[in-house]
Structure 1
Amino acid sequence: MDLNNWFEKGLTPEQYIEKMSTHQENLLHVLKRFHLSGDEAPLMNKLREANWRTIVITEDWCGDAMMNVPILLALAKAADMDVRMLHRDENLELIDHYLTNGTSRSIPIFIFIDEEGEEQAVWGPRAPAVQEMVTNYRSSLPPREHADFDEKSREMMSKLTESYRTDEALWQEVYSSLKTTITERLY
């Protein structure tokens, strides 16, 4: 699979954000407020030297993408890394190479590639601490057959969205997880 072709096919982050119909305001909220933690110059310099680019498989309705994409964009800006966005539902052939647990088309997925288009690292769809939080929320839901399931599920999604939008500790968990994935491949 030629990842260079997929990269070239993608939207710039600006094009993607401009066309968003869901979560645009929330994504911009996180993007405006998230800042890299600590002294990141060594990592940013190493990323610049590696000259990686990133393909993001996403959809604008996805709450995880709403939180994770701005964090990636902050990292990419600091490292002068080009990013291209692809809609999952229009690119099933690509997402099917990056299934979560071998079965799920979960997003976002960040595919880091080198100049030749070779995959260097993959991250997503969630940081482990965020996954644990989501699992805990879901465990409190009634069974799917229960009359209150839909209502409780909507309430849970609303709580998650608000946490993703405002909880800076979650943002740092995402950044830490992303940074770990990248540094494992760079060093």
Structure 2
Amino acid sequence: MDLHQWFEKGMDPDTYIDSMQENKENLLHIYDHFTPREDKDFIQELTAKNLRVIVLTEDWCGDAMLNIPILLHMTERANIPVRLLLRDQNLELMDQYLTNGKSRSIPIFIFIDEDGNEAAKWGPRAEKIQQFVDESRENLPSKDDENYKEKAKEMYLFMSKSFRDHTDFWQEVYTSIQSVLKNALNL
């Protein structure tokens, strides 16, 4: 399948959000409380590119919970259609977008042009969010420690709460997506 076909296969954002079981409330909280900064020139230039976005995601993913609502604000302002695909049901596409050539990390945002060609790719995290995740993981015991599973669960809960409540994280995501698009599209 080409990227145009993958896009056509995807769910619209409302269908995806309606189907969510795990992170729906937090995703909607971020969506409802995030206010993108005024950047009319960027949005006008982005709109003129006539892009579409394919999002590889899963409901259980805290990074998706954080990043998707930020993307939706940007795409709504620039009139860019978005379609979402569940990673685990679309491994053929996911495996073309591995992080560091080996990890099926999500979300991945694939921006495509009118002809279905990749114009830009973003994901799974903004750089400063990656630093936060790395620092959080440093405090975990080794995987063979008897407390590892419990401590990892606590860490993921802490990270999800941080993603939900730290509005500076939201702005970092917006800035990161914007930067990738500016560079890839010469905006």
TM-score by length of 1: 0.98
| SS of corresponding position for 1:145 | coil
Structure 1 residue 133 displacement after superposition: 0.6
Q: Any idea what the Cα deviations from partners look like across 1:17-64, whole Å, max 9, x if unmatched?
A: 001111000000000011111x31111111111000100000011000
Specify the alignment match of 1:19 in structure 2: 19
1:148 deviates by: 1.1
For the residues of structure 2 that align with 1:157 and 1:149, how far apart are their CA atoms?
12
**Partner residue in 2 for 1:156:** 155
Q: Secondary structure at the match of 2:102?
A: coil
Residue 85 of structure 2: SS of its match in structure 1? strand
Residue number in structure 1 paired with 2:167: 168
Runs of 4+ more than 4 Å apart? none
The one-character-per-residue Cα deviations of 1:86-142 (angstroms, maximum 9, x if unpaired) are: 000000000000000000000000000000000000000000100011001101100
- Which residue is 1:31 aligned to? 31
Secondary structure at the aligned position of 1:57 is classed as: strand
Q: Which amino acid aligns with 2:67?
A: N
Which residue matches 2:124?
125
Within 5 Å, give how 1:1-187 maps onto structure 2. Answer: 2-37=2-37, 39-187=38-186
Q: Residue 25 of structure 1 aligns to which amino acid in structure 2?
A: E
Gaps of 5+ in 1: none
Q: Which amino acid in the other structure matches residue 2 of structure 2?
A: D
CA distance in 1, matches of 2:181, 2:137: 29
Deviation at 1:175, TM superposition (A): 0.7
Percent identity of the aligned residues? 49
Q: TM-score, normalised by structure 2?
A: 0.98
Check the 8 A contact 2:109/2:122 in 1, yes or no.
yes
Q: How far apart are the structure 1 equivalents of 2:145 and 2:185? A: 48
Unaligned stretches of 5+ in structure 2? none
Q: How far did 1:81 drift?
A: 0.5
> What is the distance in 2 between the residues matched to 1:57 and 1:68?
11
Query: Pairwise CA RMSD of aligned residues?
Result: 0.7
How many residues align? The count is 186
1:144 shift after superposition? 0.7
Structure 1 position 2, deviation (Å): 1.1
